[in-house]
Structure 1
Amino acid sequence: MKPTRPALHPLLPLVLVSLVSGTLLPLALAPFGFWPAAWLSLIGYFWVTERAGTGKQAFWLGWCYGAGLYGLGISWVYGSMRTVATPIPLSVLMTAAFCLAIALLPGLQAWLYHRYFKRARGSRWLAAPLLWLVFEWVRSWLFTGMPWLYAGYALTDTPAGQLAAVVSVYGLSTVIAFSAAGLAMGLPGQANQAQRRTPALSAGAILLAMGSGWLLPADRWSDISDSASVVAIQSNVSQAQKWQSSQVRPTLEFYSEQARRHDTADLMIWPEAALTVRPERIPAYLEDLDRVGNERQQGIITGIVTREDDRYFNALLGFGTADGEYRKQHLVPFGEYLPFEQQLRGLINFFNIPMSTLTPAPEPQSPMPWMYRGEERHLAPVICYEAAYPGLTMALARDSDLMIMVSNDAWFGDSLAPHQHLQITRMRAIENSRAIVRSTQNGISALIDANGEVQARSQQFEVAAVSGSVNLRQGMTPYQRWGGPYWALLPLLGLIALGWASRRHRG
């Protein structure tokens, strides 16, 4: 008599589908760019959570999805820790803990669906995608926010991506979420004829979004008022060396040389914290920079840490024909400030990194003025992580002629993060119908047009000066005119109405 093989646990196939579905969403984003994977990912998530037998099963299946999503999508946290020589075992442990903790959000999302909406009329094609959108919003502010890996970014390089000028990246996530929920209803297990028609309607909606984006490029919402020659400098100083005292003089000399070499550009941008000493310690250097810029009618903007009283700010300063100071409004937790500082400071090297004692701007910031051809223009400044916040960048860009974005992606090494960050920046260009000049420490620096297309870019890990001509634009996109922080009210109100209708129906 042949021995019988032990039967697989009935949940094991669902667990595997959850994990694989989670890893598919990062594959739809940069640098992979296989955008259909966004639909496959959400279809898998909706299908699996629908098949959970209990709220507990739904939670753990959602958590497995999140483990796949974040385990691949933000694996770059490991590189950040290794940059400051955190031991490999501890780096692996902390990265895994961080990813698995954030994965609790898709788990909670799945539990809420099972607990409150699964039996509601229209739950599969309405409640499930509405919950997805609400949780993308929750991720933008919970524990100061982690607005990364949004489904809508998958459409950046498709015609539908141009619709971000109308509905923002959240609207693009809406297209994917609702159409994925409809397509999921075509998978095995759907019963009635009406549900079997839903996939065809969803496919039609996808085609409609693609065609609408092709007909409505982002640059149609703004007008070209002028053009300017620009240059974005990339220093390629390693993060391990950047803040050492021995590196101060070579850094100052490097940027002095760049200023001499690129004397014909109308605007020159240096990266985030390009100068690693505070302004009051190098007054002669900055005075000379201002004088040179004015003599040749050039605006020069550099990242630097500034001080007021006992507070330190990650800032941009303008020289020459550019003016003013912009202070970073949204800091990176553990990177620029330390939650639970008394408990964590000194515990391991990672919690003693430079720039981890900064203060966010105490008031909303304004665009930086720039005199160009006898007229005052305005530059919308964005520092690094701020690019991930559509509302913050929109508030600055709608009254500006050009966006400038500086970053220090050296923290992330040769990982997915610099590519994801560039894609996020491109989406901000589309939403605001503005060109962007992007300067980073070791890549990827780029010039991006109002349709989010990269006109010129650097390679990573090399000294570079990305130069070219960009258009100055004026006008407001529909998103700038009517968008804002209250967009989440619509899916919230939809869920409330659905829940109320479900309770009334059961009653």
Structure 2
Amino acid sequence: MVDLHSGKTYRSVNSLAPITLLFLGALLALSAELPFGGWVQIPLLSVVWWRLRLLKDSSLKQYLFSSLAFGIGYFVVGIWWLYISLHNVGGMNASLASIAVFLLSTYVAFYFAIACLSIRLFKTSCWSGLLLASSWVLGEYLRGELFTGFPWMGLAETQVNGPFASIAPFLGGPACTFLVIWTSWEIFQLKQHFKFSIVSIAALITISQLAGLTSFTKPFGEPISIRLIQGNFEQSIKFNPLASNRQIDFYVSEIKREAADLVIIPETAFPWPQNNLPAGLITYLQDFSNTSSSNLLLGLVGEVATDKGLQYTNRATGLSPYVPPYQYDKSHLVPFGEFIPSGFQWFVQALYVPMSDFARGSLKQAPFNIARKDQPAIYAAITICYEDVFGGELASRIQNSEAPVNLLINMTNLAWFGQSQAPTQQLRLSQLRSLETGLPALRATNTGITAVLGADGKILAALPEFTQASLSAQVQPYTGKTPYVIWGNFPILSISCLLLIWGLIRHRHF
């Protein structure tokens, strides 16, 4: 029989806590890929809270280290595909690429660890779940803001397959995260506060499901015909001139193959700077747009004059039959991939990849006008790849747009990350953006997942990954604004801050 009062046994059990929590973090990341991952993650988190609660009497150092281990397990499994872009595509040494992924995982795991401190900081009561949820929401918000932000692999996007998706149009992804944490805590507390916890869980899920009956946007005008072209070109050929020419020829041929109200090719589908593209190419495509009445949206590399001289941009160029050409330059750039943070030139040099220091586009760029003869204009908010991660930024752009936004378009190239879970992760992010804004979305990708999403975030049509194909569909534009578009993150952040202030006044351990 084990002596439960033995200090030696207590230390032995606690010494295993980091390993246990590392495993739980990895399991939580893997569960996100399950068909009902948003449901599965909630009871898994309750096991994490149980294990951390056992450490309440341990040293602060041990508690933080164990919490950090949980986050590291979660992010190493969740974003391991960065290794592919660094090593397989970028040419970085395998050891250095592995260290880079681990260091990034450790950095973002710190936000998890700090949020978990609330379990130790506040006295246990029936309100503890609210305080933990508030801490988590603020931690996730900071993770998405500091040092340009890296909010990838949040708990909110998994809720597109979970119980709290319907809250997104009201208070956004952060509110979904709040409810996930609160519910998981109440599951953990069922033994101590059974009545309160069971009523809380039932009420939260019921209210969320009922919220799904409310719609803030409605169909606008007639459906438009669209074609999304998925080229499936390996990233390794991007800087090979002959291969790039073949890539350009393919997309031009596919664009001309069939007219539609809107034809979209992926991010940097034309992989050269616009001024270096084959002579007359843009004029040739403009002529096709005019004769076919097709609006074209092209992913290419733009050039702008800055105080640093001529710089590249990650650009979407729109060609329309009835309005002047359009351009959107990516605003939220990827650190190291698209711009070089100060002091890290040595890191980029290790990648051997040119064009890694792009100019940043304005946050106040107009939406794309999808022009049709004798029909009301349809306006689309453009995001390029990584920008789809930042729901608050997109909501702000839609709210402040002079033209009403009826559609979301994301152009991306995930060939950098090979055969990994990165495409399904970004697809869930796009689904969450549709839920938050109440607008349908089009995803045009190089290797997948090219898809059409409804205003409720549901997948209406999609192409298989790693296939060369074109997706044709009819898409219904929508009009209107959700509460989240109008108010952004302000309500849920305010609630979280007020709860934490109240908790510090009333429930802090002394």
Is TM > 0.5 for Structure 1 vs Structure 2? Answer: yes
Q: What's the counterpart of residue 52 of structure 2?
A: 49
SS at match of 2:271: coil
Shift of 1:336: 0.6
Q: Percent same amino acid among aligned pairs?
A: 24
Q: What's the counterpart of residue 86 of structure 1?
A: 92
Q: What's the counterpart of residue 305 of structure 1?
A: 301
Checking the alignment, whether the CA contact within 8 Å between 1:382 and 1:404 is kept in structure 2 is yes
1:167–1:253 Cα change, 3 Å: same
SS at match of 1:35: helix
SS at match of 1:466: strand
Checking the alignment, whether the CA contact within 8 Å between 1:28 and 1:36 is kept in structure 2 is no
Shift of 1:210: 4.6
Shift of 1:423: 0.7
The one-letter amino acid paired with 2:337 is: G
Q: What's the counterpart of residue 379 of structure 1?
A: 380
Shift of 1:157: 2.7
Q: What's the counterpart of residue 389 of structure 1?
A: 390
Q: Residues 397-454 of structure 1: CA distance to partner in whole angstroms, max 9, x if unpaired? A: 4521111110011111111111100111111111111111110111111111111111
The one-letter amino acid paired with 1:93 is: I
* 2:314 equivalent to 1:319: no
Distance in 2 of aligned mates of 1:226 and 1:159: 32
Return 5+ residue gaps in structure 1 as ranges. 1-5
User: Which segment is superposed worse, 404-413 or 223-232?
Assistant: 223-232
* 2:65 equivalent to 1:64: no
Q: What's the counterpart of residue 181 of structure 2?
A: 177
1:297–1:341 Cα change, 3 Å: farther
TM-score normalized with structure 1 length? 0.90
Cα-Cα RMSD: 2.3
Q: What's the counterpart of residue 271 of structure 1?
A: 266
Q: What's the counterpart of residue 341 of structure 2?
A: 339
Q: What's the counterpart of residue 3 of structure 1?
A: none
The one-letter amino acid paired with 1:338 is: I
The one-letter amino acid paired with 1:335 is: G
Q: How does 1:450-489 map to 2 (within 5 A)?
A: 450-484=455-489, 487-489=492-494
Checking the alignment, whether the CA contact within 8 Å between 2:228 and 2:444 is kept in structure 1 is yes
Q: Residues 452-507 of structure 1: CA distance to partner in whole angstroms, max 9, x if unpaired? A: 1111111111211111000011111121223245642321222122212346x96x
Shift of 1:306: 1.1
1:346–1:104 Cα change, 3 Å: closer
Q: Residues 183-207 of structure 1: CA distance to partner in whole angstroms, max 9, x if unpaired? A: 21125xx4xxxx2323312321343
User: Which segment is superposed worse, 310-319 or 371-380?
Assistant: 371-380
User: Which of 23, 32, 40 is matched with 2:26 structurally?
Assistant: 23
Q: What's the counterpart of residue 122 of structure 2?
A: 118
1:479–1:154 Cα change, 3 Å: same
The one-letter amino acid paired with 2:459 is: V
* 2:260 equivalent to 1:257: no
Q: Residues 237-267 of structure 1: CA distance to partner in whole angstroms, max 9, x if unpaired? A: 110002222223212211110122122x110
Q: What's the counterpart of residue 5 of structure 2?
A: none
Q: How does 1:83-162 map to 2 (within 5 A)?
A: 83-111=89-117, 113-114=119-120, 117-119=121-123, 124-158=128-162, 160-162=164-166
Shift of 1:125: 2.3
Shift of 1:120: 7.1
The one-letter amino acid paired with 1:330 is: H
Q: How does 1:421-500 map to 2 (within 5 A)?
A: 421-484=426-489, 487-500=492-505
Return 5+ residue gaps in structure 2 as ranges. 1-7
Distance in 2 of aligned mates of 1:432 and 1:292: 33
Checking the alignment, whether the CA contact within 8 Å between 2:114 and 2:139 is kept in structure 1 is no
1:37–1:355 Cα change, 3 Å: farther
Shift of 1:147: 1.0
Q: Residues 132-160 of structure 1: CA distance to partner in whole angstroms, max 9, x if unpaired? A: 11111111112211111221222203463
Shift of 1:373: 3.2
Distance in 2 of aligned mates of 1:221 and 1:345: 45
Shift of 1:174: 1.4
Distance in 2 of aligned mates of 1:32 and 1:12: 34
Extract structure 1 runs of 4+ deviating beyond 4 A.
Answer: 120-123
* 2:78 equivalent to 1:76: no
Shift of 1:122: 5.2
User: Which segment is superposed worse, 228-237 or 273-282?
Assistant: 273-282
1:261–1:336 Cα change, 3 Å: same
Checking the alignment, whether the CA contact within 8 Å between 1:45 and 1:62 is kept in structure 2 is no
SS at match of 1:105: helix
1:164–1:362 Cα change, 3 Å: closer
SS at match of 1:403: strand
Q: What's the counterpart of residue 196 of structure 1?
A: 194
Shift of 1:211: 2.6
The one-letter amino acid paired with 1:201 is: V
SS at match of 2:156: helix
1:160–1:104 Cα change, 3 Å: closer
The one-letter amino acid paired with 1:266 is: D
Distance in 1 of aligned mates of 2:125 and 2:34: 39
Q: What's the counterpart of residue 205 of structure 1?
A: 203
Q: What's the counterpart of residue 218 of structure 2?
A: 222
User: Which segment is superposed worse, 176-185 or 352-361?
Assistant: 352-361
Checking the alignment, whether the CA contact within 8 Å between 1:438 and 1:445 is kept in structure 2 is yes
Checking the alignment, whether the CA contact within 8 Å between 2:133 and 2:179 is kept in structure 1 is no
Shift of 1:276: 1.6
Q: Residues 69-121 of structure 1: CA distance to partner in whole angstroms, max 9, x if unpaired? A: 1121111112222222333333333222322332222223334553xx32376
Distance in 1 of aligned mates of 2:169 and 2:388: 16
Shift of 1:339: 1.7
1:73–1:253 Cα change, 3 Å: same
1:449–1:183 Cα change, 3 Å: same
User: Which of 237, 251, 257 is matched with 1:241 structurally?
Assistant: 237
User: Which of 2, 13, 38 is matched with 1:10 structurally?
Assistant: 13
Q: Residues 154-191 of structure 1: CA distance to partner in whole angstroms, max 9, x if unpaired? A: 2203463133112211111111111112121125xx4x
Q: Residues 362-392 of structure 1: CA distance to partner in whole angstroms, max 9, x if unpaired? A: 4522212221233332111010000010112
Shift of 1:319: 0.6
